[in-house]
Amino acid sequence: MAKHKKPPHDSADNADYTDENLTGQSTINDESGRETVHTKQEADGDSQIVNLEHKVNELNDKYLRLYSEFDNYRRRVSKEKLEIGKTAGEDIISSLLPVMDDFDRAIVLFGDDIQTDPVKQGIILIFNKFRTTLNQKGLSEIQAMGIDFDTDYHEAVAHIPAPEPEFKGKVIDVTQKGYLLNDKVIRFAKVVVGS
């Protein structure tokens, strides 16, 4: 039996060694567990930071796009308001152009005896006032006679042989005056072009 019995110091040392080993292993396990948990928490924290940075960048990008879109909208509305203000009376002024044409024809028919007839003088006075008022609103006549034909301002109603070579491609006659309203064509000048 003595052979099977272990010495007491051996047992105690062995027990201490086992406890230390177990405790050390436990501590290592605890430490490695903590490290693992700590590493997991760091990894989770890092991934959360990356996710949050991504989210912030995404929201910032969305904000900048919305701000830019709103700024473009504001500019467009401002430009449209300005354009509407400039051409607000376009329909009214366009409807008054035949009246201008009638005045022009009447004055041409008066001939040279304007000075002697007070009625004709009154009509010319009214016409000048009418034309001045429309000019103040932005109406201007398109110059056509004797200049090169320009499709941006002129509408050719006829082509005739040019009386002289320098009149080729130029406006020879104006059948109806054209007008601009604030640099926008509201009626093209109807012209005869030399060819």
Q: How confident is the model at residue 22 (pLDDT cuts 50, 70, 90)?
A: very low
Q: Give residue-wise pLDDT tens across range 42-94.
A: 777 788 888 999 999 999 999 999 999 999 999 999 999 888 877 778 888 99
Which is more confident, 164 or 29?
164
What local confidence, expressed as pLDDT, does residue 17 receive?
Answer: 47
Which is more confident, 3 or 100?
100
Residue 179's alpha-carbon distances to 112, 121, 159, 190, 193, in angstroms, are 27, 25, 22, 11, 18
Q: Give residue-wise pLDDT tens across range 164-186.
A: 888 888 899 999 999 998 888 99
- pTM here is 0.57
Residue 173's alpha-carbon distances to 104, 146, 160, 184, in angstroms, are 15, 8, 10, 23
What average pLDDT does the structure give for the chain?
80
Q: Which residues contact 179 (CB under 8 A, 6 or more apart)?
A: 97, 139, 140, 141, 142, 185, 186, 187
What local confidence, expressed as pLDDT, does residue 24 receive?
Answer: 43
